[in-house]
Structure 1
């Protein structure tokens, strides 16, 4: 079977890598078509999967027809039994190339029409409604993401399978300090970490707008933004007045940063179900997240009042951060409950088993073994 993927980095890349690892272990022949030179291309080759260079950009544009033809050519080469398309661009090209001729799974990883406005959003909704006829299953990572699609008029066969994380990799142990020196003039204070692509979706601009109010409550607080992206230069300029803010850049493994954090934050404007908060909770860290699709489903029961904030609201975000930074005992108990919650509900092996079952349902794809996750 073939995963068609764009983008080839960030949370989508980590989700696909985990799926590929599990599918190879279960005896499937797995191929991945993704942009060359990306995090995903290197990772799936390291796992032993066939990786094919698909030169597709993130955005729509004049290259779309050529990108679709290139993917169609790869499909003829691989001849998969099933195609699993990840995110909007791959979902567009794969479904145009296939038009229902093979069993097709489309996984939005957050809907494209949430990222745009006006006429562009209306066109994106219209496409998703039309393309559902060429989709054997729309795979959502949260019930909220499915409801968003339904409310947009997408009439499809749905499956909801929550994202999962490798709880043997993301653990509270493994070191208590992140790589490199702390921000100048702010060593020793409580550390807030935000892991995510530096872009409008992830809301780092809202976090920086909130930061002066956080410092008013906790003057020695520190903030590290982990990741890179199109808004990096603008965000660095916005953070200029505060020596307590550090940009760590993109990292191959975010786990040391989660472990170094006293509190992890992701103030997204939209998501399907963000991976970074699950990874942070697996590391035993409390999280503060924007109240977008998947956020409520990812949090332990009872954490909503403390850990959810309205998206795009710097004042509410600052209040939540200040409240938790000032309560180390509460942070400790929230982190412990978060770890237990992820172990019980968001184990990556459970996610992989559910996706394999979906493949069997749609295309008769068989695995050599199927094991339920071992209780932790």
Structure 2
């Protein structure tokens, strides 16, 4: 098949990394793949995979007629069989550029924490958790599949958990995009928790390493410098790097969510899942079944504050003190990723979804009706957001998700 992958761009973030890694795995299984989208640091990764990249001329994140025209030209010149879009906006573009003029089917992956109401219901949809799939199936006419964000086990998997029994030094690692609406408060809380951990364990050298950048880099850097100046823990800001694998390997403990947490687990590291509103939970045999249903993320029952900080500090303290606890978390994560999150298996499932989409491609009339419905829905969503004073109207992560059940 001739496949056109369309992420928004090639920034270093979970959705874009997933798009490139799946494109590479699908290509290795014998399919002709092209990637279209805005440029970014992941272009180097795309080049290493040998996948042609067509850079979008627009750098806007808004819907634009010229993007639809440009995408239609790529679909036609590549003689595309299926467009695989990632998240809602590329899906809207793909329906307008590929389905309506050419009847080329669209398959979409949405790894946001919810699917917007205006999402086209005739497009086969891939989501990352069973909770999101259950909600989507109540309104989605096309098939909804769950493919958990896969991990390239050739890079990240360790045959055995790689933890140390004795921790004279403690290295805690966070690999994350530093974004104000989803991750900032938790990362600032982690800086404070590691600082307090060092005060609890003056006999140990304690370090927090933050790998990543984003709009909140200055806020995190300020907290890191203040913590380091107090002299208890060292906090280092690394910035964004294309391959964070060495930092997963150097870690004694990893804090993360989503794809970053899965990479840490595959590396055989004790992993703490970061969420929002005071949510922190260690990966264990007890907590894993809930995460497998809801995703590697959570929302607590309290606003972020002292109780969340206390929860994280308690987990870190337990891990530092108890080698058996570290070993259990490391082994649980390593085993789960090996069993359930293999990139090559995910690519094979994705190819089956493409084949079904070709067999069951919708008529042009269906695509036209859906286009009118989704464009009307986008307009209505925009108007409602302005009237309500919503300053993040297109964020379909935290504020669109009900709090998850707390772990006991």
* TM-score of the two chains, using structure 1 as the length reference: 0.76
**Matched residues in 1 for 2:189 and 2:66: separation?**
41
Whole-Å separation in 1 of the counterparts to 2:125 and 2:108: 5
Q: Is 1:2–1:32's contact at 8 Å kept on the other side of the alignment?
A: yes
Determine the structure 2 residue equivalent to 1:143. 130
Distance (Å, rounded) in 1 between the aligned partners of 2:269 and 2:55 = 37
Q: Which digits, 9 at most, give the CA deviation of each residue in 1:146-194, with x for residues without a partner?
A: 235457x5554211112221222114489x9xxxxxxxxxx96311111
Q: Secondary structure at the match of 1:191?
A: strand
Alignment partner, residue 266 of structure 2:
282
| SS of aligned partner of 2:81 | coil
In structure 1, distance between residues paired with 2:56 and 2:297 = 38
The residue number in structure 2 matching 1:2 is 4
Matched residue SS, 1:49: coil
Unpaired segments ≥5 residues, structure 2: 200-204, 229-233, 361-408
Match of 2:44 in 1: 42
Work out whether residues 193 and 224 of structure 1, in 8 Å CA contact, stay in contact via their aligned partners in 2.
yes
Q: Does 1:95 align with 2:81?
A: no
Match of residue 189, structure 1, among 159, 169, 187: 169
Matched residue SS, 1:30: strand
Q: Deviations over 1:245-284 (max 9, x none)?
A: 2111111211111111111112x5xxxxx21111111110
Q: Which structure 1 segments of 5+ residues have no match? A: 114-124, 177-186, 269-273, 366-376
Structure 1 residues 55 and 299: alpha-carbon distance in aligned structure 2, compared to 1, 3 A threshold? farther
- Residue-by-residue CA offset, 1:183-216 (whole Å, 9 max, x unaligned): xxxx963111111111135514323134334433
* Residue of structure 1 equivalent to 2:388: none
Shift of 1:55: 3.4
Distance 1:339 1:202 in 2: 26
Rate the CA distance shift 1:191–1:138 in 2: closer, same or farther, 3 A.
same
1:164 lines up with 2:146 in the alignment = no
Classify the secondary structure of the residue corresponding to 1:242: helix
Rounded Cα–Cα distance in structure 2 between residues aligned with 1:364 and 1:99: 14
Matches within 5 A, 1:1-376: 1-9=3-11, 10-36=13-39, 38-57=40-59, 59-60=61-62, 64-99=64-99, 101-111=103-113, 125-128=116-119, 131-133=120-122, 135=123, 137-150=124-137, 156-172=142-158, 189-219=169-199, 220-243=205-228, 244-266=234-256, 274-290=258-274, 301-304=285-288, 310-311=299-300, 313=304, 314-315=308-309, 316-363=311-358
- Describe the shift of the 1:58–1:198 C-alpha distance in structure 2 as closer, same or farther (beyond 3 A): farther
Q: Deviations over 1:21-64 (max 9, x none)?
A: 2222222111110213x23333223222221111344632xx62
More displaced, 196-205 or 301-310? 301-310
SS at match of 1:259: helix
Task: Work out whether residues 127 and 133 of structure 2, in 8 Å CA contact, stay in contact via their aligned partners in 1.
Answer: yes
The CA deviation at 1:127 is: 2.3
Matched residue count: 327
In 1, the alpha carbon distance for the partners of 2:87 and 2:320 equals: 35
Q: Report if aligned partners of 1:205, 1:235 keep a CA contact under 8 Å in 2.
A: no
TM-score, length of structure 2 as denominator length? 0.71
Partners of 2:81 and 2:349 lie apart in 1 by 18
Provide the rounded CA distance (Å) in 2 between the counterparts of 1:364 and 1:23: 19
Q: What is the Cα deviation at residue 65 of structure 1?
A: 2.6
Distance 1:140 1:52, change over 3 A: same
Contact 2:157 2:338 in 1 (8 A): no
Report the CA distance shift for 1:82/1:52 in structure 2 as closer, same or farther (over 3 A).
same
Cα distance in 2 for partners of 1:192, 1:205 equals 17
CA contact under 8 A between 2:22 and 2:347: conserved in structure 1?
Answer: yes
SS at match of 1:127: coil
From the CA coordinates, give the structure whose radius of gyration is larger.
2
